[in-house]
Each structure stands twice: as C-alpha cells, then as structure tokens.
Structure 1
Amino acid sequence: MVMKRITILLMTIVSCQMMFAQHDRHVLLISIDGLRPDFYLGEEWDTPTLKSLMKTGVYADGINSVFPSVTYPSHTSIVSGAFPDKHGIFYNVPRTSKDSHWNWEYERIRTRTLWDAAEEKGLTTGAVMWPVTVGAPITYNFPVRRPYGNEKGDQLTVTTPVVTPADLMPRMRSAGVVTSGEQFRHENVDQTIGEMARYIIKNHHPVLMAVHFINVDHVQHVHGRDNIYVKEAVRNVDNQIEKLIAVLKETDLYDRTDIIVTGDHGHVDVDKVFSPNILLKKAGLISADSWKARFATAGGAAFLYVKEDRYAKQVEKILGTLPDAQRQLFTVYSRDDLNKIGADPDAALALGMKKGYVANSGLKGKIVKDRKPVAAHGFYPDFKEIQTGFIISGPGVAGQNRKIDFEMGIQDIAPLISRLLDLGLHVKDGVFHDGILRLKQ
C-alpha cells in the first residue's frame, strides 16, 4: 500500500512538472478594433503603454488588412493565417443572412486556427470578445454574440449560454467582474472586456490569451478619425492594456509572455455615399424582390454577384460608360485581382471606393449623395489610412524599438504565434518573417 502511494505521488509530481513545462511560454494577443499606427507613433495620442511596448519590442508603421477590411474576416485571418477565400468568413454578416445573424459560430471557419492547434497540444487558452468563436475549442471563452431576429435581451443575456466553461460566468459574477448588461454599453465595454480578461489570466494562466477591445472602432464610426471621443477611447484602451500587463506581473507570467498588439483595419474619413445598385436597377438587373446582378456592400467596398456570367459583362460595360466624375470614385478589381488578395471566390468583381466615399446597397435616390461625416473601413487595403498597427514585445522578440523594414499583413501573425508556442500550425497564406523573433526558439 505504501509503495502504491509513493508511486501515485511520483506520477503526480511528474505530471505537474510536465504541465508546467508546457507553460514555459505564453502569448497575450490583443486586438484593438480600428487600431491605427498613429495611436502609438504620434505624440498627440496619450498612449504610454503602447509606446512603452513599442520601445521594448518590434513594431510596424502599418500592416495590411484583408478585403473587405472589416472585423470578422480580419480577426479570422489573424488566428488562421489564411485569407477569406480559404477560411470562409467573407463579411461580418453573411450576404445571404435575412435576420441579422452575424458570423458568430466557429463552425463557419473552414481552416484550422491557433485554437485548434493549441487544443491538440493540450494547452490552456482564453479569449474575450474575439469574433467567430461561439463553439470554438477555447478553454475559457467569452465570445461575441448579440441578439438577432426576434431575440430579446442584451449582449450579456444572449452570450451567457455560449460562454465556456458553463461555470465561468457564475464565477465572474461572484467575483464582481460581470454583473449587468449595462457593462456592455459602448462607453463601458472596453473596461468590461479588460476585467474579464484579467480574471481569466489571474485564475487560469492561459498559454494563449486573446482579447478584442471594440470601442475605439465604434467612436470612429460615430465621430470620425480625430475627435475628443476617439482620443478618450484610445486612452482608455491603453489603460486597460496597462492593467493586463500588471496582472501578468502579479501572476509571475510577465517574463514568460510575449505581448502582441494589433488590429483589424484602420479608418478613413468619409462624407459621401455611392449606390451602385441604382445603376443596376436602371439596367433592369435588380428590383426590390429579385435580381440578376447585385452589389453587396461593406463600407468602402462593393462586391458584385451575378446569376449568370453574362450579367457581369453587362455590369462592366455599365461601369465603363459612367461619366468621369463618377468613374473616378472607385477602382474596379477583377476576379484575378480578387484571387490575389483572397477575397470571396463567388464575387464576379469588386469596387474599392476612393477616400471620402463609402458604398451602400440602396436602390432609391441619387447615385452619389452626401452623408454625415464619419469614419469607415472596408476599403481595398492598399493605402496608409486603412492599415492597422502591429507591436510585439517580450522575451521571444529580437531587438528593441525596432521598426520592421518589410511589408506585412495580419495573416502573418498566426505563424509568429505558432512559432512562439511551438504549435505547428500550417497556415494557408501567412508568412513567417525572419527578424521579428529570436533565432533560437
């Protein structure tokens, strides 16, 4: 009996040693929705935490998003290393959705992700408000889920049933972390996200922790790129990141954690709307209840879908005969162009709007009209304002205060994390760039 107890004790010790060996390295992945590089490069932005991470690590003055440059496709590319044509998340809302059901469910993703690779390695993971993670193989997960259709209730009410594990929400309520749906109002939500993330880090030490802050994007949509409310939101999220770093230090994880701060897209000031479906309506290609060709729009982008190939040729002719004043509002991207950037393979072509203009799917009114000045995204990712930011700092990073001298996209982040955590994730499009991490991994 004594020998049996000794054997069990030794097995427990070995098991614990193996468990802690798996946790020698951690990654904290932070996404600031609508992050622009000037938030950490510009002196006018009150972001001491971001600027400190930049000075102690490697950073970019801009990295490319996907097309359309919107939240759900972008965040899926960050964790999969794939473009939308591979991972299958083409828009925030599927273009066939009739009840405002967004791309919330993880089962919609067609490729493997960091979550799959970490689960296969037996690693503990955590995520707060990361898009397309309802049902994902994440150990501690508060996903994005909102009311849709005829559902009633606030975000907390509809999300609680899909939080994993099932006892996570009761425990966070007991700890006073999340007690009311009011905490998810735009002015409160980033603080709530930060508090949930700190709870998971402090109590569960995830090897990979992903946090998605959302209010910076919201205020830019409402007020434009540069406004006192944007500065306040950016300052608040910087403070939340400072608190996340503090809890890493409290739990003795800081010296083992590489911190990545990135985003999904930038923002562009706009004050006019272009409605391409009005052109198709005039040509008899679309009506209120049927269509042969139609544009699905996403901010600064419009994707053409056709019932038959011949309608695409007809639309190309329509676009080509527009007055110069209208033709100069956008760039036409052919199917070959869309293949190169990994956009929706079902689209016949796409329009990338010029700065100052967004597209909508309306069928009435003027083709071009004024709108309230705001900021938007969705644009083809080939100019500075639509780029997002990238900073990486920690023990696995090569150098300090060093700006990368090569072109990088958000799809290149998954290979970095895979290498840091030895996940062995084989990505479809992302590239592992030498020079960011220390050579010896």
Structure 2
Amino acid sequence: MISQPMQLLRTCLALSLALIAAASAAAPIPAKDRVVILITIDGFPAWLWHDPALPVPTLRKLAAEGAEADSMEVVNPSITWICHTTLVTGVGPIQHGVLFNGLLVRPGIDKPPMIDQWRDKADLVHVPTIYDLAHQAGLKTAQVDWVAILNSGTIDYEFLEIPKPTGGIEGELISAGILTADDLHNFIKGKSPAWRDSMYNHAAIDILV
C-alpha cells in the first residue's frame, strides 16, 4: 500500500490467485474460487496512515478486519516502477532490472538519454513475477493501471494506464455506457485525474464481476 512519487491509484488484480501456492512449482494447485486483489496507492507514506484526519474509511475498515503493518521498507531508488516491480517479483532492482519509470534509451551520441515507458514487459523485467507464475499455474490474472507490464503475455484481462481503443474491458465499459470511444481517444488529454481514477475503478469492478 506504500510506494513513492505521488501519482494515482494503481491496481493489480490477481484474479483467483493464491500467492504462496502459485509461487512454488511444487505446491498444490490453489482453489479457483478465491480472488486476491493487490491495490497500491502511489505516494502514500506510512506516517499519513496514522493521521486520524485522513478520510479513508474503507481502507481503515479493511485494515481493522485484516492485518496491517506500521511501515514498509522501500527499495533504492524509491521510484514508482521500481517499487511496484519489487512488490510483484520479491527481489530488488539489481535483480529485476527496473531502474526507472520505463526503459533508459540512448538515442545517439548527440542526443540526451530518454525514458521510454511504452516498452514491452520483457524488455524491462528480467525475473518472473507473481502474475507470471499464477498464469503458468492455470489461474486467471488481470491488471488495471499497473506498470512495466505491456504485452506481458501472462495477463488475461487488463485496462492499461492509457487504455486500448479496441480492448475487451474497454468495449464492455462502452457497452455499459460508462465510457465512450471519444473518452478513450482523449483519455489523458482533457480529462481530470479524478475522472481517470473513476474509470480505473470501473474497469476493476468490471473485471471482478
């Protein structure tokens, strides 16, 4: 629940995942009537959780009915993509290979380096993720606005940070009257962060139900 630079809600839905069982090839196949959901809030520091004025009743209810920790130890550098990739691989950046919010690209001698966010997951992440292992175990996986995940090949349902106009979940939201084709075309430009957050939430609900 705690990672670094302030952006928006990110959700990785691992549908029908049993995390420990899927992580071991020798473990029994987990029950397929279970749903595990990982939700991270980018830029949410541990100290803020202890502020009684913070209006997060749903999060507090989940913590009260489950378990919570006072803080988490972040990796170095504590940047969004690095932290999130560590969460789903269990190893630090020196092993998983994600060192920036994207892939560092050097266009040429006379040009400055740049960060390319729209690179395939295989170019970025060099070790298996929990969703890779779950998919290999025959479980269904899904993601909404996760990072370093483009064209992973192991996600069954997804709604990207910039959604695909021809995506399956996108089509279902259009059919339900939640999105329009024009909304998808202008998903980043002309739309507020709060509106985009609501669309990510709608996509997560659509996948779950």
TM-score, normalised to structure 1, is 0.35
Whole-angstrom CA distance in 2 between matches of 1:80 and 1:103: 20
Q: 1:160 to 1:71 in 2, by over 3 A?
A: farther
Q: Unaligned regions of 5+ residues in structure 2, if any?
A: 1-29, 107-112
The counterpart of 1:191, out of the listed 191, 198, 201, is 198
Alignment of 1:201 onto 2:202 = no
Partner Cα distance (2:157, 2:46) in 1: 30
The structure carrying a bigger helix percent of its residues is 1
What residue number does 2:86 align with? 77
Match of 1:46 among 39, 55, 61: 55
Which residue in the other structure is 1:168 paired with? 169
Contact conserved, 1:77 with 1:83, CA < 8 A, in 2? yes
Partner of 1:109: 125
Could you say which residue in structure 2 is the equivalent of 1:67?
76
Q: Which residue identity lines up with residue 128 of structure 1 in the other structure?
A: V
Greater CA deviation, 181-190 or 127-136? 181-190
1:160–1:169 contact (8 Å) kept in structure 2: yes
Name stretches of at least 5 consecutive residues in structure 1 with no aligned partner.
1-20, 145-154, 203-441
Q: What is the rounded CA distance, in whole Å, between the counterparts of 1:95 and 1:122 in structure 2? A: 33
Would you say the 8 A contact 1:93–1:102 is kept in 2?
yes
- Cα deviation code 1:297-321 (max 9, x no counterpart): xxxxxxxxxxxxxxxxxxxxxxxxx
- CA spacing shift, 1:93–1:121, aligned 2, 3 Å: closer
2:125 is the counterpart of 1:118: no
Displacement of 1:187 in angstroms is 3.0
How far residue 183 of structure 1 moved from its aligned partner, in angstroms, is 5.2
Q: Could you say which structure has the larger radius of gyration?
A: 1
Structure with more of its chain in strand, by fraction:
1
- Shift, 1:100, TM fit: 4.4
Give the letter for the 1:71 counterpart. T
Q: Whole-Å Cα distance in 2 between the matches of residues 173 and 104 of structure 1?
A: 27
1:191, CA displacement in angstroms? 1.1
CA distance in 2, matches of 1:132, 1:82: 15
Distance verdict in 2 for CA 1:112–1:138, change over 3 Å: same
% identity of equivalent residues? 27
Q: Is the 8 A contact 1:66 1:73 kept in 2?
A: yes
- Measured in 2, the distance between the counterparts of 1:71 and 1:23 equals 31
The separation in 1 between residues aligned to 2:178 and 2:150, in whole angstroms, is 21
Q: TM-score, normalised by structure 2?
A: 0.71
Quick one: structure 1 residues 168 and 51, their matched pair in 2 at CA, closer, same or farther if it must change by over 3 Å? closer
AA at the equivalent of 2:155: I
Matched letter for residue 189 of structure 1:
R
CA distance in 2: counterparts of 1:168 and 1:55, whole angstroms: 32
Q: Does structure 1 retain, via aligned residues, the 8 Å contact 2:169–2:203?
A: no
Q: Give the secondary structure class of the aligned counterpart of 2:68.
A: strand
Q: Separation in 2 of the partners of 1:58 and 1:76?
A: 23
| 1:389 match | none
When residues 93 and 135 of structure 1 are mapped into structure 2, their CA distance, relative to the original with a 3 A threshold, is closer
The alpha-carbon deviation at position 103 of structure 1 amounts to 5.8
Match of 1:139 among 142, 152, 156: 156
Residue from 69, 82, 95 that aligns with 2:104: 95
Measured after TM superposition, the shift of residue 171 of structure 1 is: 2.1
Relative contact order: is structure 1 or structure 2 higher (C-alpha 8 Å, sep ≥ 6)? Answer: 1
| Distance in 2, Cα, partners of 1:116 & 1:65 | 23
Contact 1:106–1:135 (8 Å) recurs in 2: yes
Q: Which residue of 2 aligns with 1:177?
A: 178
Change (3 A) 1:103 1:59: farther
